[in-house]
Each structure stands twice: as structure tokens, then as C-alpha cells.
């Protein structure tokens, strides 16, 4: 069993790789009542074109999310989500651009729930009837997302930033694309991507690593697949598709989302940490930028900047609300340019770095949050402690280089949602 240890936060994570290729990560926490488990697969909304053992397969947009819904269906007619809830655990699942994750958390009945949990993830049951029944439910969900300003502003920006990348496709798909989904397609993607060497499990709580490994092995029936999976991603030009998109919805205050299209790199997790630091330095509540825009009634809360990346994309996002979003966006870009030219104050950098450390440490104190952070990171092939270790290693020169090299105005676009007139 491999052990990852970070002395700064005094945490250990244990990793065991089963004979079938499944990797299990355990974060032991003595004397805590909550227990959390997450089981993820490297399969999400962008994986709609792939080659499996020499056979090219193209599946409808939204199928990863559709499969997530259908996984709870059981041959005995009982919904696995209802079964887990009935024994007192909180169960859920989510689908992202590049991953699907199943989970539950509880204070009691963890091992009773583990049997049900591992049974439904390993035993899909799809019929023509139950697949058709789900179509209307997911169709309603799609229409609901269409009415969500947060969803609309995000995907409008993706349409601006990307020409061909599937990250611009809504995770749930569209009414038209889900109409093409049938049980054969669902079994095809299950048998391709829901295989042990493409999946990870993270468990956190008051566990002895050997005992939880033994329990998982007891219910493990998956065999090593030896699938040769090639993901076929379309060629994406370096340019953006268009500069902006403005839409009207039922909102009281205009919101905006600015995006910078950047290249993937070997240090993306470290770069994401640098962006967290730059967010506070450039736009945080104590920054001159926020104070000035607050006094001008252009911002009421600080904007939030973050980095999103995975296998085939990387971007920096800046979101906020303003009564004059175009002016706020202009000043945001001016602020970035100004800091590129004058550099970063070392005293401020050191202060913010300590603040970010406190923020990350707070995540480790919440089992649900840190378990999700770990599963997402390891599905991206990052190490469990890589984020906090990157923060330890980062110096002011690295952050200044990130600022200078990743905010190209020609690679920037924005999306605005304004109130209906």
C-alpha cells in the first residue's frame, strides 16, 4: 500500500491498487462520525467520440449524464437511491465534462450501504421501457437548466471561447440528442468506461485502511478489462469563436462571465493555485480594484477568478455582477494589464499566500468537500496532495509569469445575462 503524506497539514492518504486495476484512496480521520465514499469514472460529457479496441464509436451528447440517471435502476424494481436513503445515508451522483461520480455519506450503516452502493454501480439494468421512461424526466431537467442564468451564461461563454471542443456542449445534452439514446448505447459506454482501470474510489472517515480495502474487495466483482480506449477530440483552433454573447433573462442584476482560453500544460494544478492567489491579489475584498468599483457602484461583491482544466481544455474564468457589466469587464482587463506591467507587491503576495493556505486547510476539515476535491484531482491524474504542495512551492516569480503568459486579450471573450426589458 502506497502512502502519501503532507507534513504541513499532518495528513496521510493511503492508496491501494487492486488486481483488477481499480485504485482506492483512503483518508483516515480518527474520532469523526461522518464517513464518505465516492466512486468515479473518467467519462463525462466531452467523451462523445472514442475508439475502443479499434472500433470507433460516436454517441449522442448528454449520454454520460443519462447513464448516471439510469445507474440507480435495479433489476428487482427498487431504485438504489431509495434503498440507500431508507437505511439512513445521503446518496447522490454527478456528471461533469470529464467525469461521473457516485457517492454517499453517513454517520451510521456505512457497511450496510456499501453493499448496496457497490451492487448498483457494478450491475446496470437497462431496458427499452426504463430508458424511455427516463427521457421525459431528463427532458424536463434540460428545460429547467435552460432557464437557469448560471447555466446559460456559462454555455454562452463556451460558445464564444471554443469552435469545436465538446466542453461547450451542455452536460445534459439537448432534447434532440437524448432522443437518440437507447439501451444498447448505454451498455456500450458502460462496458467501455465503467471498468476498474478507468475508475477510482476515495473513502474518508474513521477507517483502518486494511479493513476498508477488505470490505471493498468483498463486494468487488469487476474484472480487469484491458480496454484500449482512445478519446477522439476534434481539432480546436487557438483563436476564440467570437468575442461576446449577451442574453436577456428574468434576473434583477446583470451578471457577467469573462473567459481566457489558455493551453493545457504539465503544471496546470500549480497554475490553478496561482490563479487563486491572483484572484485575491487583483480582485479580492481588500484590493484597491474592489474598493474603487464598489465606491463607483459598479460592484457590490468582489468578482471571482478561477481556472478550469482537464484532458482537452483549460480556461481562466472571472465572474461577477454589475449594473454596468461592460464597464466592469473593461476595468477588469485594465487591472490585469496594469499588474502585468507593474508586477506584484511581495508583502501582499506573502499575505495572500497565507490566506489561501487557510482556505485550503478549511477544505481538509470538511470530509465531503475534501473527498470531492481528491476524487476530481486523481481523475485528472493529479496527486492527492498536489494542490497544497503546489501552494507550498509557489513563489512570486511563478505567479507573475502566470499573469504575464495566460491573459491574452485576443484569447478572451465574455458572456452577459441582463434583465429582460
pLDDT tens-place string over residues 203-221: 999 999 999 999 999 999 9
pLDDT of residue 309: 94
pLDDT of residue 394: 96
Q: At what angle do helices 268-283 and 386-393 cross, to 10 degrees?
A: 60
User: What Rg value do the Cα atoms of the chain yield, rounded?
Assistant: 23
| CB atoms near residue 317 (< 10 Å) | 17
Q: Is the pLDDT of residue 199 over 90?
A: yes
The domain at 244-419 falls in which architecture? Answer: 2-Layer Sandwich (3.30)
Q: Is the pLDDT of residue 383 over 90?
A: no
Catalytic residue among 16, 68, 73, 134: 68
Question: Model confidence over 108-131: pLDDT tens digits?
Answer: 999 999 999 999 999 999 999 999
Give the model's confidence band at 361: pLDDT under 50 very low, under 70 low, under 90 confident, else very high: confident
Give the model's confidence band at 10: pLDDT under 50 very low, under 70 low, under 90 confident, else very high: confident
Burial class (CB in 10 A: 0-12, 13-18, 19+), 1: exposed
* Total-model pTM: 0.94
- Distance, CA of 136 to chain centre: 26
Q: Do domains 2-231 and 244-419 have the same CATH topology?
A: yes
Give the model's confidence band at 292: pLDDT under 50 very low, under 70 low, under 90 confident, else very high: very high
CATH class of 2-231: alpha beta
Please choose, from the candidates 293, 314, 318, 289, the residue with its C-alpha nearest in 3D space to the C-alpha of residue 306: 318
For the chain, which residues make up each domain, given as ranges? 2-231, 244-419
pLDDT of residue 321: 97
Question: Model confidence over 216-245: pLDDT tens digits?
Answer: 999 999 999 988 999 999 999 999 999 999
68 is catalytic: yes
Amino acid at each position: 500500500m502506497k502512502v502519501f503524506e503532507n507534513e504541513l497539514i499532518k495528513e496521510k492518504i493511503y492508496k491501494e491498487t487492486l488486481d483488477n486495476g481499480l485504485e482506492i484512496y483512503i483518508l483516515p480521520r480518527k474520532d469523526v462520525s461522518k464517513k464518505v465514499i465516492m466512486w468515479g469514472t473518467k467519462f463525462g460529457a466531452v467523451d462523445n467520440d472514442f475508439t475502443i479496441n479499434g472500433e470507433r464509436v460516436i454517441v449522442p451528447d448528454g449520454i454520460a449524464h443519462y447513464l448516471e440517471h439510469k445507474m440507480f435502476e435495479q433489476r428487482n424494481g427498487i431504485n438504489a437511491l431509495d434503498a440507500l436513503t431508507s437505511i439512513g445515508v445521503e446518496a447522490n451522483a454527478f456528471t461533469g465534462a470529464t467525469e461521473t461520480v457516485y457517492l454517499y455519506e453517513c454517520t451510521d450503516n456505512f457497511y450496510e450501504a456499501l453493499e448496496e452502493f457497490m451492487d448498483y454501480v457494478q450491475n446496470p439494468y437497462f431496458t427499452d421501457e426504463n430508458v424511455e421512461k427516463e427521457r421525459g424526466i431528463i427532458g424536463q431537467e434540460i428545460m429547467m437548466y435552460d432557464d437557469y442564468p448560471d447555466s446559460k451564461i456559462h454555455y454562452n461563454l463556451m460558445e464564444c471561447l471554443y469552435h469545436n471542443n465538446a466542453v461547450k456542449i451542455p452536460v445534459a445534452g439537448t432534447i434532440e440528442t437524448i432522443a437518440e439514446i437507447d439501451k444498447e448505447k448505454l451498455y456500450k459506454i458502460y462496458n467501455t468506461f465503467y471498468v476498474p482501470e478507468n475508475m477510482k474510489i476515495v473513502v474518508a472517515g474513521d477507517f483502518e485502511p486494511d479493513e476498508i480495502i477488505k470490505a471493498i474487495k468483498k463486494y468487488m466483482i469487476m474484472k480487469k478489462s484491458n480496454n484500449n480506449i482512445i478519446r477522439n477530440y476534434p481539432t480546436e483552433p487557438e483563436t476564440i469563436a467570437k468575442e461576446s454573447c449577451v442574453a436577456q433573462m428574468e434576473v434583477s442584476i446583470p451578471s457577467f462571465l469573462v473567459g481566457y482560453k489558455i493551453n493545457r500544460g504539465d503544471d496546470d494544478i500549480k497554475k490553478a493555485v496561482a490563479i487563486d492567489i491572483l484572484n485575491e491579489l487583483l480582485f479580492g475584498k481588500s484590493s484597491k480594484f474592489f474598493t474603487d468599483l464598489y465606491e463607483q457602484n459598479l460592484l457590490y461583491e468582489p468578482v471571482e477568478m478561477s481556472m478550469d482544466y482537464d484532458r482537452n481544455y483549460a480556461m481562466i474564468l472571472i465572474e461577477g455582477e454589475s449594473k454596468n457589466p461592460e464597464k466592469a469587464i473593461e476595468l477588469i482587463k485594465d487591472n490585469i494589464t496594469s499588474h502585468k506591467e507593474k508586477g506584484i507587491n511581495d508583502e501582499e503576495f506573502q499575505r495572500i499566500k497565507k490566506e489561501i493556505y487557510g482556505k485550503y486547510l478549511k477544505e481538509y476539515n470538511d470530509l465531503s468537500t475534501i473527498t470531492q476535491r481528491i476524487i476530481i484531482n486523481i481523475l485528472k491524474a493529479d496527486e492527492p496532495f498536489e494542490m497544497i504542495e503546489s501552494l507550498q512551492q509557489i513563489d512570486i516569480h511563478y505567479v507573475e509569469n502566470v499573469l504575464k503568459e495566460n491573459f491574452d486579450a485576443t484569447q478572451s471573450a465574455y458572456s452577459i445575462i441582463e434583465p429582460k426589458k
